[in-house]
């Protein structure tokens, strides 16, 4: 029987190989699916992949790989038999299929069938009326005929008129996301120009007749068929995003500039705000500003909400989106549509969108059925952050109630009183430069790709509130904050210290996140240092998990896909990779803007985990709105930054050890004089002295030409490195002598001004 199974396996392998070249064209794949009335989500579920992957197969951007390729080929063969390309119209399905990714929607009271649970209200947003998770429109099959939208009065409205966008030779077109199934056939976002043209993805233009903001919102919800499917079965569909150009803002009576520069919102007595109120539309607490959410309370389980972004008011920050707001509408929608399909529909700054993506991928609640009563209720989603919790005193910023209760205002907390896990900002003392280093010619910077994103990969973080423990035994698998003295771990003075953001050796007990203490134990064990880890106290989390994993995977895949579209792929050699990186942004400004926004999404999203109060009316020691989010978690932010910093130190040490051995006399880790060491660090950028202008001129390789294992690897994936910039040695030496960080300016500009 075993032999027979082996034969069958061999035959299956042959069939898989045969299926490599027998797939129909991408356009035919889409035709067959639509003819059968199937959604991309249904096919994705059957094949065990993501809906976006099926969309990419139908757009020709990617091809399925074994074993999914053989199964996909089998499906298409069956559809070809039933729906041959004869020019006849495919039969309509007898039932409208519902996308399998849709979670149960919230029904009318007392009108819910027993098998259809309500969708609980997500606690990931601020508590605002109308934020239930039901879909906005009734879904339909792409193979079924479009239904005319129904207005508020019940009258049948004609579908929005459609036309194709003219070809624009200015920029290379960005690969637009495939149309979303069901009610979101026109994509997630539209850019409205002053003539009423609404530019959508896939070169589609809708004619918008609205002359007021309230009429615009009504039209979008009833006719435009915009939005995006939820990213998690227990989540909610994304609201349609309408971007207003300067001409469109003028068309609706919006001012060219907001007078309230601090609050960044229209005054309550502005005619547009009063007009929305008369039409029974609501605004969230942030009012009508650059990003305005217009909604009505949920009625009958139907979500009624539209997100507006006003370009002349700075909705698309140039530090995140580059020059997107200066592009033509068709190019703007390519940028935002690509970002929406790969990351999330923008709903504010990239920082806000990064945080929303965490919640969308791991919503806090789901529908749970009571086996005793048969009723549906809201229950927690395993692995998610389900409720807002207060931090430990050491994790809280000064103005937080738990910290303000312990220290008077103005008190400068020491590292023994507050957790100080931040990114590197370090320069080596010029007196510690070796003669060999001073004889080099160049200062070369290398930068870790999306370092914070890479740090989030498989990172176990706390999911519950902190528990205080006295004199605990350190456990690297337990997330938390630890008060411990690491000053006894001696390192070569030319190395940055891994335990402090300034790279200077600590001088006593201090608070550290788990990844920092775990790395200290790693150094002790690896180099047999005569030191013991003995925490004095700790705040630990008893419930933990890899909360950020879906976030890492989605943005990581988005980053690599966008880089691949720009010609930078994972199969390039080191030389080819460096060459491709020299010109990748210039090849397509729109995709370069998407890439910039993704990077800002990562950094901003992590920063939002410890959002400080913004209002000038905030009173010291009082709570502020962000504290009511389950995602206000400064301990998770600290864990990510701690991991990124020790990852950088680990790569530095591995690189230094590549060609020499370390010793530990008198309990100190000492490196040879010729060890390759950086002279400056800034977050994810390291500067080395080199006799050539390229990273290949100084990064060590093995005798067979392979990069150093565990060191800096050139490549496109998160955690690998790229060339950041090169300057002359004397330029860097002068900066070091002046106490300035060369890593900040190695690109020729201030990294902070460039959004880094």
CATH 1.10.260 domain extents, the chain: 16-101
Cis peptide before 67 (omega within 30 of 0): yes
433: Cβ contacts below 8 Å, ≥ 6 apart: 679, 736
Query: What distance in Å separates the CA atoms of residue 232 and residue 197, rounded to the nearest whole number?
Result: 32
- Whether the per-residue pLDDT at 738 is higher than 70: the answer is yes
> Regarding the domain delimited by 16-101, which CATH topology (the fold level of the hierarchy) does it fall under?
434 Repressor (Amino-terminal Domain) (1.10.260)
From 504, 468, 541, 496, select the one nearest 650 (Cα to Cα): 496
- Whether the per-residue pLDDT at 118 is higher than 80: the answer is no
Looking at per-residue pLDDT, the higher value among 396 and 146 belongs to 396
Residue 753 confidence (pLDDT): 56
Residue 164 confidence (pLDDT): 60
Average pLDDT over residues 392-400: 97
Q: Please report, rounded to a whole number, the percentage of residues in the chain having pLDDT higher than 90.
A: 67
Residue 82 confidence (pLDDT): 78
- Whether the per-residue pLDDT at 553 is higher than 90: the answer is yes
Residue 283: phi, psi to the nearest 5? -115, 150
Could you report the per-residue pLDDT of 702-720, keeping only the tens digit for each?
A: 888 889 889 999 999 999 9
Could you report the per-residue pLDDT of 261-297, keeping only the tens digit for each?
A: 888 899 999 999 999 999 999 999 889 999 999 999 8
Residue 178 confidence (pLDDT): 40
Residue 436 confidence (pLDDT): 94
Q: What is the DSSP letter of 717?
A: S
DSSP codes joined into one string, 519-551: HHHHHHHHHT-S-----SEEEEESSEE-TTHHH
Residue 160 confidence (pLDDT): 64
3-class secondary structure, 36: coil
Residue 39 confidence (pLDDT): 83
pTM given for the model: 0.78
- Whether the per-residue pLDDT at 309 is higher than 90: the answer is yes
Strand partners, 306: 294
Q: How confident is the model at residue 155 (pLDDT cuts 50, 70, 90)?
A: very low
From 46, 102, 51, 45, select the one nearest 78 (Cα to Cα): 46
Calculate ∠ Cα 565-568-572, nearest 5°.
135
Query: What distance in Å separates the CA atoms of residue 413 and residue 586, rounded to the nearest whole number?
Result: 47
Residue 181 confidence (pLDDT): 45
Lowest mean pLDDT among 122-126, 306-310, 660-664: 122-126
Could you report the per-residue pLDDT of 225-249, keeping only the tens digit for each?
A: 999 999 999 999 999 999 999 999 9
Residue 238: phi, psi to the nearest 5? -75, 140
From 753, 734, 731, 751, select the one nearest 743 (Cα to Cα): 751
Query: What distance in Å separates the CA atoms of residue 322 and residue 344, rounded to the nearest whole number?
Result: 18
477 class by beta-carbon count within 10 Å (0-12 exposed, 13-18 middle, 19+ buried):
exposed
Query: What distance in Å separates the CA atoms of residue 225 and residue 211, rounded to the nearest whole number?
Result: 19
Residue 165 confidence (pLDDT): 55
Looking at per-residue pLDDT, the higher value among 615 and 416 belongs to 416
- Whether the per-residue pLDDT at 25 is higher than 50: the answer is yes
Both tokens of 509, joined, read 């007990």
Query: What distance in Å separates the CA atoms of residue 675 and residue 656, rounded to the nearest whole number?
Result: 5
Judged by phi (left if over 0) then psi (alpha if -120 to 50, else beta), residue 677 lies in: beta
Could you report the per-residue pLDDT of 426-458, keeping only the tens digit for each?
A: 999 999 999 999 999 999 999 999 999 999 999
Average pLDDT over residues 612-639: 95
């Amino acid at each position: 029987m075993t032999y027979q199974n082996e034969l069958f396996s061999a035959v299956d392998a042959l069939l898989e190989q045969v299926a490599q070249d027998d797939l129909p064209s991408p356009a035919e794949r889409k035709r067959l699916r639509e003819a059968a009335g199937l959604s991309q989500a249904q096919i994705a579920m059957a094949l065990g992949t993501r809906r976006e992957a099926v969309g990419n197969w139908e757009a020709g951007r990617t091809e399925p790989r074994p074993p999914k390729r053989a199964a996909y080929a089998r499906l298409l063969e069956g559809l070809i038999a039933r729906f041959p390309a004869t020019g006849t119209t495919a039969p309509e399905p007898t039932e409208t299929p519902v996308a399998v990714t849709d979670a149960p929607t919230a029904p009318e009271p007392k009108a819910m069938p027993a098998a259809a649970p309500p969708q609980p209200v997500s606690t990931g947003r601020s508590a605002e009326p109308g934020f239930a998770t039901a879909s906005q429109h009734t879904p339909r099959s792409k193979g079924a005929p479009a239904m005319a939208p129904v207005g508020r009065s019940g009258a049948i409205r004609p579908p929005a008129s459609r036309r194709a966008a003219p070809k624009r030779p200015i920029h290379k077109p960005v690969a637009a996301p495939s149309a979303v199934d069901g009610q979101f056939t026109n994509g997630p976002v539209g850019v409205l120009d002053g003539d009423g043209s609404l530019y959508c993805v896939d070169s589609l233009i809708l004619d918008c007749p609205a002359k007021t903001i309230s009429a615009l919102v009504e039209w979008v919800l009833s006719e435009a068929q915009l939005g995006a499917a939820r990213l998690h079965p227990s989540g909610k569909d994304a609201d349609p995003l309408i971007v207003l150009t300067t001409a469109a803002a003028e068309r609706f009576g919006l001012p060219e500039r907001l007078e309230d520069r601090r609050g960044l919102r229209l005054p309550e007595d502005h005619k547009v705000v009063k007009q929305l109120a008369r039409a029974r539309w609501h605004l969230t607490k942030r009012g009508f500003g650059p990003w305005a959410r217009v909604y009505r309370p949920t009625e009958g389980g139907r979500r009624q909400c539209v997100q507006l972004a006003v370009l002349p008011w700075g909705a698309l920050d140039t530090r995140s989106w580059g020059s997107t707001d200066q592009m033509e509408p068709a190019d703007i929608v390519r940028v935002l549509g690509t970002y929406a399909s790969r990351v999330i529909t923008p709903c504010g700054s990239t920082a806000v969108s990064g945080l929303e993506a965490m919640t969308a991928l791991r919503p806090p609640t789901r529908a749970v059925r009571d086996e005793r009563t048969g009723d549906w209720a809201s229950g927690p989603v395993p692995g998610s952050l389900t409720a807002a919790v207060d931090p430990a005193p050491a994790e809280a910023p000064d103005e937080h109630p738990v910290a303000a209760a312990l220290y008077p205002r103005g008190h400068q907390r020491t590292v023994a009183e507050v957790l100080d896990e931040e990114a590197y900002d370090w320069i080596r003392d010029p007196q510690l430069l070796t003669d060999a280093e001073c004889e080099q010619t160049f200062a070369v910077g290398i930068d870790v790709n999306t370092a914070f994103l890479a740090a989030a990969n498989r990172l176990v973080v706390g999911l519950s509130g902190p528990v205080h423990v006295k004199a605990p035994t350190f456990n690297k698998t337990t997330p938390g904050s630890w008060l411990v003295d690491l000053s006894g771990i001696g390192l070569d003075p030319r190395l940055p210290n891994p335990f402090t953001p300034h790279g200077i050796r600590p001088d006593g007990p201090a608070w550290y996140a788990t990844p920092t203490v775990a790395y200290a134990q790693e150094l002790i064990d690896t180099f047999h240092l005569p030191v013991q880890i003995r925490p004095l106290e700790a705040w630990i989390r008893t419930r933990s998990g890899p909360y950020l994993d879906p976030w890492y995977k989605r943005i990581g895949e988005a980053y690599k896909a966008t880089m691949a579209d720009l010609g930078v792929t994972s199969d390039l050699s080191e030389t080819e990779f460096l060459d491709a990186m020299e010109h990748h942004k210039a090849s397509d400004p729109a995709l370069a803007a998407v890439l910039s926004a993704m990077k800002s999404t990562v950094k901003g999203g992590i920063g939002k985990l410890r959002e400080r109060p913004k209002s000038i009316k905030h009173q010291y020691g009082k709570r502020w709105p962000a504290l009511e989010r389950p995602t206000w978690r400064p301990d998770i932010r600290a864990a990510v930054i701690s991991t990124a910093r020790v990852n950088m130190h680990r790569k530095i040490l591995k690189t230094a050890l590549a060609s020499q051995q370390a010793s530990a006399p008198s309990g100190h880790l000492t490196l040879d004089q010729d060890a390759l060491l950086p002279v400056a660090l800034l977050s994810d950028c390291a500067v080395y002295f080199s006799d050539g202008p390229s990273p290949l001129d100084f990064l060590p390789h093995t005798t067979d030409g392979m990069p150093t294992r565990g060191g800096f690897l050139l490549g496109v994936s998160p955690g690998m490195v790229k060339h950041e910039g090169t300057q002359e040695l004397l330029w860097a030496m002068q900066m070091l002598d002046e106490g300035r960080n060369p890593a900040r300016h190695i690109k020729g500009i201030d990294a902070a001004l460039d959004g880094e």
